[in-house]
Structure formats: C-alpha cells, structure tokens
C-alpha cells in the first residue's frame, strides 16, 4: 500500500497567497479611509478650538482680528509683509507666542504705527499688559513662517513679500518635519513636529453687502470678503513642494483666480442672489491632506 505524503501542493499554496493578498488589498484602503476620517475630525476639532479663542478675543476687544493684507490706499499705508494668516496667529498666541498686546496695530515688526515696540519682552509694563495666549501653545500648531536658520526653523525656505520671522497657525495634516534646536513654538528643545499647511483666515467686512459675484467693479476692500487677504501666502505654493526644485513646485492656481474664490465661498442655500457663508464673522480654510487650497479635500469652518 502506497503511503500518502503530507503537505501542501503548489496550487494550494498559491491559493492561500492569493487570498491573503486579496484581504490585504481590501484592508489597506479601509485603514487609509479610517486614518483620513480621523484627521478630518481632528482638523474640525482644531477649528472649533480656534472658534472659541476668536470668540474670547472678540469679547475682549469688540471685534475679530483683522485679516487685511496690503492696501495702497490705506492710511497709514499697509505693509506688504503681513497677511491674514499671520494676523490670526498674532491675535491668538501673540507676535512672539507670549500673548497678544492690546496696543498692537498688527505689524510684522511687532511695533505700532507710531513705531512703539509693544512686544518688547524686556519691558515689564508691556508684558503685564498682554492678554492670552488664547490658544494653548502645545495645541496651537504655531510655526514660524520662514526657515531662517537651524536655530530658528520654519515652514518655507523663501517667504516672498511676507516677513519670515512671524508665525502662522498650521492644520493637522503634517507635511514637513521641523526639529526645534532651542525651546520655542511651545515645544521643548529637540522636539520633532510635523507642521501642516498654514490655515487661511479671512474676516468678513460686516458693513458691506456686496459679494464678488454681484458686482466685480467694487474694490475688494469694500466687499464682504477680500480674496487678497492671504494672496502672498497662497502665492508661495504648496509647502510639501519646497523640497523639490523650483520648476517642480506646484502653485495654488485655483485660489489665485478670484472668480473661483468667490464661487468657493458661495452659499448654495441662498438662491435669491450670490451670498457667501458666514458674512457676519470670518472663515477658516485648511488645505486638507493634499496641501493645496481650493480642492475637494479642504476642511473649512463653513462647509461640512
């Protein structure tokens, strides 16, 4: 009688391998979807925290912080080096992350229009007058805009017109590793953090009832929202592309198109005339997982 040998045949082994590969193929997208959903939930939670902080700021000063960028007709003239995202960070954590000074005129230098350095840490009176921070630094995701030096790390190697030694609040979709060499940004020395893309902030002009899709002849500063409030920051392109050669860096083409910006803000529930979301307060925009503003994966405080 012939003895039957034990073991698996080649066909059986291949079948098992194929089943395992199929299960892995089904599992990976599911895990990715769960991870993406968790990040989106965390981002909405960050916006809820910022909402509370802005409400506290308004309670103290009577209005939300400004988001206006350069306006050549303003008096005194607006500088070109400080946009909406930077002003949001100053209001909630301070120009130097040590709290907001009520005499601030929201200048990238930390000085008032009269030249007074109200953020001077050596001035005890100025330090006692500060408020906040309105956000805990450990949770604020505040990072320096410019990568100035190994001792002062930041987001972008070049910041264009914007002042590099200022801060912005970043979203939770980390795209760049930043290691602190000395304590700063609310982090202990030697901490490695993944910084996300800067959060865009636009304050509504509550005295206006003109929306860009209504009448394009009205200057942006006189409309409910000014698409130029974060223009120089958007012009820097994707944060994730700054490790690539200049020719390979992707620009935020869609948000540079002001018509697209107004369509992006348009509330479809209002049909009588074009009308934006949140015309009485402000909007926040995270670029989402792809790090590009104006695409379908953006997270905002006005769209679900």
pTM: 0.86
Mean pLDDT of the chain: 89
Q: Convert the pLDDT of each residue in 239-275 to its tens digit.
A: 999 888 888 888 888 888 889 999 999 999 999 999 9
Bridge partners of 285, per DSSP, are 200, 300
Q: Please check whether residue 90 is in contact with residue 109, taking contact to mean a CB–CB distance below 8 angstroms.
A: no
Q: Convert the pLDDT of each residue in 81-97 to its tens digit.
A: 999 999 999 999 999 99
Query: Of 158, 170, 204, 135, nearest to 287 (Cα)?
Result: 170
Q: Please check whether residue 195 is in contact with residue 146, taking contact to mean a CB–CB distance below 8 angstroms.
A: no
- What sign does the dihedral 38-237-53-224 (CA atoms) show? negative
Residue 192 has pLDDT above 80, yes or no: no
**CA 126 to CA 117: how far, in whole Å?**
9
**CA 106 to CA 118: how far, in whole Å?**
11
**Higher-pLDDT residue of 157, 304:** 157
Q: Convert the pLDDT of each residue in 1-39 to its tens digit.
A: 555 556 668 777 788 888 888 787 777 665 555 566 788
Cα torsion 48, 53, 58, 61 to 10°: value is -170
């Amino acid at each position: 009688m012939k003895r039957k040998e034990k073991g698996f045949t080649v066909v059986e082994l291949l079948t098992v391998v194929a089943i395992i590969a199929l299960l892995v193929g089904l599992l990976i997208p599911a895990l990715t979807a769960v991870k993406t959903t968790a990040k989106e939930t965390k981002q909405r939670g960050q916006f809820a925290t910022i909402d509370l902080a802005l409400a506290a700021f308004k309670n103290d000063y009577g209005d939300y912080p400004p988001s206006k960028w350069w306006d050549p007709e303003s008096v005194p003239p607006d500088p070109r080096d400080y946009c909406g995202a930077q002003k949001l960070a100053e209001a909630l954590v301070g120009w130097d992350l040590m709290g907001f000074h009520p005499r601030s005129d929201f200048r990238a230098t930390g000085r008032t229009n009269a030249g007074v350095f109200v953020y001077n840490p050596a001035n005890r009176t100025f330090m006692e007058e500060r408020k906040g921070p309105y956000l805990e630094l450990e949770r604020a995701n505040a990072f320096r805009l410019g990568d100035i030096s190994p001792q002062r790390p930041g987001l972008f190697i070049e910041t264009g017109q914007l002042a590099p030694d200022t801060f912005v609040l970043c979203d939770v979709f980390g795209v760049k590793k930043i290691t602190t060499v000395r304590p700063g940004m609310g982090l202990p020395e030697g901490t490695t953090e993944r910084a996300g893309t800067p959060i865009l902030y636009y304050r509504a002009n509550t005295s206006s009832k003109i929306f860009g899709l209504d009448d394009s002849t009205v200057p942006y500063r006189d409309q409910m929202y000014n698409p130029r409030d974060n223009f120089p920051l958007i012009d820097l392109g994707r944060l994730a592309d700054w490790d690539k050669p200049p020719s390979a860096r992707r620009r935020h083409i869609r948000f540079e198109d002001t018509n697209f910006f107004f369509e992006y803000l348009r509330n479809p529930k209002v049909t009588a005339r074009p009308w934006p979301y949140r015309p009485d307060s402000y909007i926040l925009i995270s670029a989402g997982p792809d790090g590009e503003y104006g695409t379908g994966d953006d997270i905002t405080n006005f769209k679900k």
